[in-house]
C-alpha cells in the first residue's frame, strides 16, 4: 500500500479531469474553421486533439489531423488564433460540465483543508473564466495555465513551481490528470500521480503512462486518502 498520509497538496489538471470542456472547444474550433471557409470536424475528433494547449489544438484543426503540418503559414495560424479566442471566450461554458464525482470530491478535500491547485495547459485567457463559470474557482489557491510559466506540461516546471511555492517534498504532492502529459510531468518532478480513465489522452489508455494510481472517478481519490481502498 502506498500511504497518502503525507499528502499536502493536490495539483489538478483541468480539461478532461475536472471539466469535460471538449464540447465547447469543438464548437469554438468549428466556428473558427467555418469563418476560414474550411471543413469542420466532429466532437470526438476534436476531443483527441486536446491536451497540448490552444496553439497545438488550432494547428491540428488547420492540419486536419493530430500531426501538425509544419508548413502552415504563420499568418493563417494568427488569423485562426484570433477567431478561436473570440469564439471560445464568448462560449466558455455552454456545454462544458463537471465530470461525475468532481463537485463532491472537491468539496470533501476543501472541508479537510487539503490545499488544491490547478496545473493546466489551457491558456490563461480562458482558465479563470471557465473555473468561475463552472463554479469551482474558489477551491484553488494557485492556478497555473499553459502560458503562466516558461514551459508547460509535460515539462515539470509548473509542478516544480508548486513544490517551491508550498515548500513541499515531492512525495507530499499528487498530480491528478487525464493525460500522459500530466503523468510525465509528475514523474519528472518525482511527485505522486493519479490518472483518470475518462478523459481525453488522445484516445489512449492512461494506465499505459504508469501513474501511481488509476481511477474511474475522483471519488476514488477520497477513498484512497481515507485508506478504504489500497493500490
Ligand atoms: O487545453 C489543453 O490542451 C489541455 O488542458 P489540460 O492541461 O487542462 O488538460
Ligand atoms: Mg487534461
Coil, helix or strand at residue 5: coil
Report, as an integer, the average pLDDT of 51-69: 96
Instruction: Say if 3 falls within a structural domain.
Output: no
136 and 200 in a single domain? The answer is: yes
Residue 174 contacts residue 193 (beta carbons within 8 Å): yes
The domain spanning residue 209 has which CATH number?
Answer: 3.40.50.1000
Q: Is residue 4 part of a domain?
A: no
Residue pair 17/136 in contact by the 8 Å Cβ criterion: no
Same domain, 61 and 47: yes
Q: Which residues pair with 46 in a beta bridge?
A: none
- Residue 118's pLDDT is 98
Q: Which of 44, 63, 90 is the last residue of a domain?
A: 90
ipTM above 0.95 for this complex: yes
| pLDDT > 90 fraction of the chain, expressed in percent and rounded | 94
Are residues 74 and 140 located together in one domain of the fold? no
Is the pLDDT at 231 greater than 70? The verdict is no
Check whether residue 13 and residue 51 sit in a common domain. Answer: no
What are the strands, taking DSSP E only, across 100-183? 116-119, 142-144, 173-177
Q: Residue 4 has what pLDDT?
A: 77
Active site residue 13: yes
Instruction: Tell me: do 64 and 174 sit in the same domain.
Output: no
Inside any domain, residue 180: yes
The domain boundary residue, chosen from 90, 116, 149: 90
Shared domain for 111 and 64, answered yes or no, is no
pLDDT, one tens digit per residue, over 91-142 is: 999 999 999 999 999 999 999 999 999 999 999 999 999 999 999 999 999 9
pLDDT (0 to 100) of residue 226? 86
Would you say the CB of residue 96 lies under 6 angstroms from ligand 1?
no
d(CA 76, CA 154): 27
Picking from 45, 61, 90, the residue at the C-terminal end of a domain is 90
1 confidence band (pLDDT: 50, 70, 90): very low
Asked if residue 52 and residue 146 are part of one domain, the reply reads no
User: By three-state DSSP, how is residue 138 classified?
Assistant: helix
Q: What is the mean pLDDT of residues 136-164?
A: 98
What's 124's DSSP letter?
T
Whether 21 lines ligand 1, by a CB cut-off of 6 Å, is: no
Selected residue with higher pLDDT from 5 and 225: 225
Same domain, 86 and 100: no
How would residue 3 be classed by pLDDT, with cut points 50, 70 and 90?
low
Specify whether 69 is located in the same domain as 178: no
Q: What mean pLDDT, rounded, does the chain reach?
A: 95
Residue with cell 475522483: 218
Among 56, 66, 69, 63, which Cα is nearest to 36's?
A: 63
* Active-site position among 5, 13, 24, 100: 13
Quote the pTM value: 0.95
Q: Which residues surround ligand 2, an ion (CB under 5 A)?
A: 13, 15-16, 178-179
Residue 5 is predicted with a pLDDT of 75
The whole domain housing 13 covers 9-20+96-226
The tally of domains found in the chain comes to 2
- pLDDT tens per residue across span 192-225: 999 999 999 998 999 999 999 999 999 999 999 8
Q: Does residue 231 fall inside a structural domain?
A: no
The residues that bridge with 193 in the sheet, in sequence order, are: 175
- Looking up cell 477520497 gives 222
**Residue of 48, 53, 154 with the most ligand 1 atoms within 8 Å of its CB, for mutation:** 53
Q: Are residues 55 and 112 in the same domain?
A: no
For residue 37, the tally of other CB atoms under 10 A from its CB is 6
| 145 and 218 assigned to the same domain | yes
- Is the separation of the CB atoms in 95 and 24 below 8 Å? yes
78 with 142, same domain: the answer is: no
Amino acid at each position: 500500500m502506498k500511504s497518502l498520509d503525507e499528502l499536502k497538496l493536490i495539483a489538478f489538471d483541468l480539461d478532461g479531469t475536472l471539466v469535460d470542456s471538449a464540447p465547447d472547444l469543438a464548437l469554438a474550433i468549428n466556428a473558427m474553421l467555418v469563418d476560414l471557409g474550411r471543413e469542420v470536424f466532429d466532437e470526438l475528433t476534436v476531443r483527441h486533439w486536446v491536451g497540448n494547449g490552444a496553439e497545438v489544438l488550432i494547428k491540428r484543426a488547420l492540419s486536419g489531423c493530430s500531426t501538425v503540418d509544419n508548413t502552415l503559414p504563420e499568418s493563417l495560424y494568427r488569423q485562426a488564433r484570433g477567431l478561436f479566442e473570440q469564439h471560445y471566450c464568448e462560449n466558455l461554458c455552454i456545454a462544458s460540465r463537471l465530470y461525475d464525482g468532481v463537485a463532491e470530491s472537491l468539496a470533501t478535500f476543501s472541508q479537510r483543508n487539503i490545499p488544491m491547485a490547478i496545473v493546466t495547459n489551457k491558456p490563461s485567457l480562458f482558465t479563470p473564466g471557465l473555473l468561475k463559470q463552472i463554479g469551482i474557482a474558489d477551491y484553488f489557491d494557485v492556478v497555473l495555465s499553459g502560458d503562466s510559466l516558461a514551459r508547460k506540461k509535460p515539462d515539470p516546471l509548473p509542478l516544480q513551481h508548486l513544490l517551491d511555492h508550498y515548500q513541499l517534498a515531492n512525495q507530499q504532492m499528487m498530480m491528478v490528470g487525464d493525460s500522459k502529459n500530466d503523468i510525465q510531468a509528475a514523474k519528472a518532478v518525482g511527485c505522486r500521480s493519479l490518472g483518470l480513465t475518462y478523459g481525453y489522452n488522445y484516445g489512449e489508455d492512461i494506465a499505459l503512462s504508469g501513474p501511481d494510481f488509476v481511477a474511474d472517478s475522483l471519488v476514488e481519490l477520497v477513498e484512497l486518502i481515507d485508506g478504504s481502498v489500497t493500490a
